[in-house]
Amino acid sequence: MAKRPTIAIQGIKASFHEEAALTYFGEEIETLECMTFKRMFEEMKQERADYIVMAIENSIAGSLLPNYSLLQDYNFPIIGEIFLPVQLHLLALPGLRFEDIKYVQSHPIAIRQCEEFLQDLQGITVLEKSDTAACAKEIQDLQLKDTVAIANLNAAKAFGLEVLERRIESNKKNYTRFLVIAREHEDIKDANKASVCFRVNNKPGSLAKVLTIFAQNNINLSKIQSMPVLGKPNEYNFYLDLEWTEQKAYDLSLRKILKYTHNLSVMGEYKSNDTRK
């Protein structure tokens, strides 16, 4: 029997990261729980994980900027993506009443996604924790009768909690995009999307020239993100997601932008999997 792949996830079982991993790989996997994003990369570096599934952006909260740095620091290849609809619920021990609630706890990103709902709760303290599912588990483990968690239905089922309020996220079309990262390079058949990173000269029009080359070759930019380079004033890393219909046009674009960029790296070539469309 073939060995199940081990997938490093941020958080614990029943978290959104585990849900994303199951969506991409199916049920026949082992998940490796990591409390930080960096820990996932360290586990794969030590060959205790075969893949990483990592959130990179959310339609409400925006990009997870530190995760771009991790991609650069560890240089493991991106081989896929998942767009996971985020449905958030208010979970509590069975029988808890609204008037008993003193604390709401969840991951900071989940809290941001539910700001409108939380603004209507009077006299309740919001606690930021490391993981949505772990917040739900803590309520069950410690039998917290004054605390509720913001998490998904998997967490409610896993830890025997009751749903006090359903779908409390501000935007009902809320998605988180996850990247699938491998320990070793894999050839992806019919790849039509890439994540690249580069720097440009600090001169007027340098970035515009690069973007013009992509436009002239019908390369769609579905994402552009800049981050300052530490210790180098006025220098930025630009992270781009590129999509194409003709492989030759993509290859030509990369060759042409070499004239205007430096430190160009292709972080991964994979299939576009935007299920929001």
* Residue among 240, 246, 247 nearest 261 (CA): 240
Please give the average per-residue pLDDT across 221-245, as a whole number: 93
Which residue among 176, 198, 238, 261 is the active-site one? 176
pLDDT range class, residue 41, cuts 50, 70, 90:
very high
Q: What is the pLDDT of residues 69-102, one digit of tens each?
A: 999 999 999 999 999 999 999 999 999 999 999 9
Distance of alpha carbon 221 from alpha carbon 224, whole angstroms: 7
pLDDT range class, residue 190, cuts 50, 70, 90:
very high
Whether 89-165 and 193-270 share one fold: the answer is no
Residues 101, 107, 112: CA angle, nearest 5 degrees: 85
Q: Sign of the C-alpha dihedral, residues 153, 157, 161, 163?
A: positive
* pTM for the full predicted model: 0.92
Distance of alpha carbon 218 from alpha carbon 221, whole angstroms: 9
CATH class (in words) of the domain with range 6-86+174-182: alpha beta
Catalytic annotation present for 25: no
Pick the CATH number of 193-270 from 3.10.20.600, 3.40.1390.10, 3.30.70.260, 3.30.300.160: 3.30.70.260
Please give the average per-residue pLDDT across 16-38, as a whole number: 96
The lowest-confidence range among 71-75, 119-123, 189-193, 239-243 is 119-123
CATH code, residues 89-165: 3.40.190.10
Distance of alpha carbon 70 from alpha carbon 239, whole angstroms: 13
Q: What is the mean pLDDT of the chain?
A: 94
Please give the average per-residue pLDDT across 226-230, as a whole number: 90
Domain residue spans in the chain? 6-86+174-182, 89-165, 193-270
Please give the average per-residue pLDDT across 262-267, as a whole number: 95
Structure tokens at 58: 């959310």
pLDDT range class, residue 1, cuts 50, 70, 90:
low
Catalytic annotation present for 212: no
Which residue among 16, 41, 178, 198 is the active-site one? 178
